[in-house]
Amino acid sequence: MSNLETMVNPSDINVTVETQYIANQSIPDQNQFAFAYHITISNNSDFGVVLLHRHWIIIDADEQQQEVKGAGVIGEQPLIPTNTQYKYSSGTVLNTPVGTMQGSYHMVDEFNNPLEVPIAPFLLAPPNQVN
């Protein structure tokens, strides 16, 4: 098999996100709005992948931007076998009640080919905050 035949296409890795406002960890009077995000990474390729690094861009309603880069997710660099899912939850705190997150995962397939998987922008907002 040639290297091109063994490469995983980034479109074969599907990232879905669910968000949650955490009222009991938020202090609106002090401009602290806590959010959890629940990620599901589905590997629909023919090969296993390892998530090595994450890169997040978090923007609040005042257009203040935070950039988060690091190894793996939640202290792990998970192997995600073919046709399986990896799920994890994490969180962030914004200075405004509304914001967005987007980013990417840097992965390698089982042949050590690099793979950059984009994560589409998603909204962080308390219920009924945005129509």
Residue given tokens 């660099």 in the structure block: 77
Among 63, 18, 24, 8, smallest CA distance to 40 is for: 18
Q: What's the confidence (pLDDT) of residue 5?
A: 54
Q: What residue spans define the domains of the chain? A: 3-123
Query: How many CB atoms within 10 Å of residue 130?
Result: 10
Three-state DSSP class for residue 9: coil
Give the whole-angstrom CA distance, residue 102 versus residue 126.
18
Give the whole-angstrom CA distance, residue 35 versus residue 63.
17
Band of pLDDT at residue 129, cut at 50, 70 and 90: confident
* Residues of the chain above pLDDT 90, percent: 86
Give the whole-angstrom CA distance, residue 96 versus residue 67.
16
**pLDDT for residue 36 is more than 50:** yes
The torsion angles phi and psi of 11, rounded to 5 degrees, stand at: -70, -10
Q: What is the pLDDT of residues 63-98, one digit of tens each?
A: 999 999 999 999 999 999 999 999 999 999 999 999
What pTM was computed for the model? 0.90
Give the whole-angstrom CA distance, residue 52 versus residue 71.
6
Average pLDDT over residues 54-70: 97
Helix (H) or strand (E) holding 123: strand 114-124
Q: Which fold has domain 3-123?
A: Immunoglobulin-like (2.60.40)
